[in-house]
Structure 1
């Protein structure tokens, strides 16, 4: 764990983000090559475009890295499967020249199509009116979508766990030869662990949907980034393209921690200070996180970055802030949980443009509310108002002040 003024230390096995024992996971013999090919196609054609600003790096370079480093491949396949789980079943229609959802009846049923979603083995079929009516029946659509979602979520979990296993082992032997691949694995696992936070806790096909799991991976990403800079220098690191965006765009930018940006949220720093002692070092950590969230909020309101870039910054919260904040969340410190709820509210503000965030606020904010002592619950007034759509999609600073002035 890293704290201010101390040396970085690599994550230990105790920070493993998977709750499933290795012995319970499927062996390599159970891997379906046709499924992996379909998922890789899904990655390059669709999934990588939904969260990355530097699309060419993730579309072209990452698959090449994945061919040489299995944890990268596993993390890519996990993301592709998670993306596929949230898409409706589709079929290729030659006359349309595109993939068409099964519920879409605009295509000509006289032409054959290839079923590429469920079996992994394309099969040509002649669509007649009877078949068209059958697959487009509402009940069948629900069944097909549910079945495919379940299958893809199971695949996503399988590959995510494999990626985490390989990632944790590789952290013990970082070198200039493998650090880029390990960093890519960490970034992708971080996105995956964040995006599943909208899923139900009862879904047995998923790893834990506790935000602590996502934040732990972010701690690892931060460690790898600093270690990489030690090995090769920060200038080369900033221009390598792997920092989840265009060269240099995610380097430590002082404006991300500008106090002015954090001003609307700084009441969270002073709330209950008469009853809860905050050490000066911890107070500085909380302030930086609030300023970071405030900077994201300012970007949302002022449209200074596109939503995909803001998605990257939100997911990277644990990586770009002091890792002690993750420790505070894991210890269920009320101040840390309340701050985290405000980050989830920011996800809600851009969920229309970043569907990966859809449902996260609705799933996580009530959970935080239930964990907070009664005296802290008023501090969730603004996140709850955002979650419920009770204030404008882009509320003003005055609205925040009014809600927090309780």
Structure 2
């Protein structure tokens, strides 16, 4: 079902995924208006969107998602909200109050604004990390939405994303001001890669500093299934179309869906090598220390940083939960999203890899120069 004539809000519109979704909406839908909500708008991004907007009105809402009046204004007259804005933090570098304020309270304010302003559809961008892995590193291979797993979480990021997802799904069916009802769903993409991925740039920078040898922090057997950003954007569009369809609305409303594509299962470290080997990077064969010893080192670093916390805040480069995440087989299937949402990946693995490698190649000279003079 088409979104023609709809007014939609995209939170985190200038982010990695948000930007890709906005461009997809402009390419494929004749929307009346797209409202770009972000804390920091980027003039070059806005100009690139203006060049391809056609008859769709683009409106800029620059401000804080924790500002209730602001998000209510952004939602006034809208019919769909794509909620992508969040703080991503796997190093525990962000204060709990900050990440909770954005990820949980910001989501709650947005849901309340939807009820007050009669927004009928709400799609929440969740994360695979709301599932785990748990601190024991128990694996999941080709899991589904029905997989039973002890998803005890340690990351503040993971816990806040899970609470925000729960609040989003619980809001399904709540009564709007005009007597209608809100429909919600959540998408759980795997690790998202592609053009604009800051994590890939960070790993490339580490490789450059190490003489074009990528660091290995994942065992080869710790298979995960990364997903290309263009396919994740397509899944969001398909979710919005499905929520607009009266026959599908109650089928998918209040549910979450894993989003994957045909990117081959691979460990996090080996994935970095796959997309950077064409640029001349190799990778270490083994972890810097046995995994059990790395856990001990992380424990000691965490303990030291905790003791110093009253005097100075130091964030260790690696912690036990991140180490567990990087070394736990954790893969899922998107069959349910394909069945219920009609989600079909737009980009094959070969196309996604080609686009990602070309983007990294375009960034490599500047990255070398930056590191050389840092």
**TM, length-normalised to structure 2:** 0.29
Greater share of residues in helix = 1
Greater share of residues in strand = 2
**TM, length-normalised to structure 1:** 0.27
Q: Which has the larger radius of gyration?
A: 1
